[in-house]
Amino acid sequence: MNARPDFPFFSARQGTSLPVYLDNAATTQKPDCVLRAIEQFYKTTNANVHRGAHALSRAATDAHEEARATAATFLNAASTEEIIFTSGCTEAINLVAQTLTFAHSFQPGDEIIVSTDSHHSNIVPWQMLCERSGAVLRAVPLTAELQFDLAEYEKMLTERTRLVAVPVISNALGLRLPVEPIISRAHAVGARVLLDAAQAAAHEPLDVQALGCDFLAFSGHKIYAPTGTGVLWGRRELLDALPPWKGGGEMISSVTFARTTYNKLPFKYEAGTPNICGNIALAEALRYVLSLGFPAIRSHEQALTSRLCSGLARLPGVELLGGSDGHSSLVSIHLPDVHHYDLGTLLDQMSIAVRTGHHCCQPLMLSLGITGTTRYSVALYNSEEDIDRALTATERALAMLR
């Protein structure tokens, strides 16, 4: 796969010291088609959406709702009404946490289950829900191999389990969770399931009907779209039953000082002017990914990830968290005698962009007895040369730090 020519970030930096960009789990570069969509909207179609009587507003509305249809296709949603545009995965999870509380779905002693390797955005909103409702947050431990412990999870499930919220792929470890059995076993005790697909959306197909989950969230900026964009998918019957989260324009049907009635799906969850241009650009990014095809993307990225893991494993003293196999596009390393920030700083000086720190997974790091890792993450525009340059630079940096 040679997708790099589609990304102006790389061609614009020709003749300079082009960095090896391996921080894709944090955010991705944007293809030309996405940048053109942004420019075209503001040059030709800029108007507010919905209820506008003039042609420009109708054109903007059509483009915005076509973007919603693209997101529905991307997730194989049963209806466009199940697609809620958000500012990202974090807002999407908070939306669910807030509306579940408003609906009085949780009572003292009810339980919410998350995984130890969850991102903070899939921990803190549930802690806040627990504080409001008296529910209890429980975390599934990891095995010695840092895999989700399915056996322990089964023991934790009870009739008091109301919600299970887990990532599809760990943003700190790069390991895929067994989401299919997680979902089926949660449903067996009557619990709902939310999937955090922030790290999965760019790397594997997400079919919400086949998965059988109840909610799924992802961020646009990790799948080649602008920052400040994202999607919450929810089962229509659940979204219909839950109350709105934010109040304002668009989410209403009628307003008097005595009473407000709410709009139909999906608009009752989209108060105010949406990120019109961002959502249109998000749809363009999704179409771009679909045009390349996940089989080709996965083959390319898995080959790069395997090359990266093999090279890192050969370096003395390097521990690959989660082992050398099974990583989905990212890998974290730990070195007992080298601080992750020092390694990241030296790699930056060699034009290698990686991420260091706890990756918004402090409970995971605490369970491992470390403060952070150095994380390398690939995308469809990376190459074998990128991996080899990163490995060479890592070896040099470690020699300097020891």
Q: What are phi and psi of 360, to 5 degrees?
A: 55, 40
Pairing state between β 373-377 and 83-86: unpaired
Burial of 356 (0-12, 13-18, 19+ CB in 10 A): buried
* Peptide bond just before 31 cis, omega within 30 deg: no
360 a catalytic residue:
yes
Cβ-proximal residues to 39 (8 Å cutoff; 6+ apart), any chain: none
Looking at residue 55, its amino acid is A
Looking at residue 327, its amino acid is H
User: Taking a C-beta distance cutoff of 8 angstroms, is the pair 359, 372 a contact?
Assistant: yes
Read off the DSSP letter of residue 80: G
Burial of 262 (0-12, 13-18, 19+ CB in 10 A): middle
User: Taking a C-beta distance cutoff of 8 angstroms, is the pair 336, 293 a contact?
Assistant: no
Cα–Cα distances (Å) from 230 to 76, 225, 293, 326, 363, in that order, read: 16, 9, 21, 27, 25
Q: What are phi and psi of 123, to 5 degrees?
A: -125, -55
Looking at residue 309, its amino acid is C
User: Taking a C-beta distance cutoff of 8 angstroms, is the pair 300, 328 a contact?
Assistant: no
- Catalytic residue (one of 277, 309, 360, 361): 360
Residues with catalytic function: 360
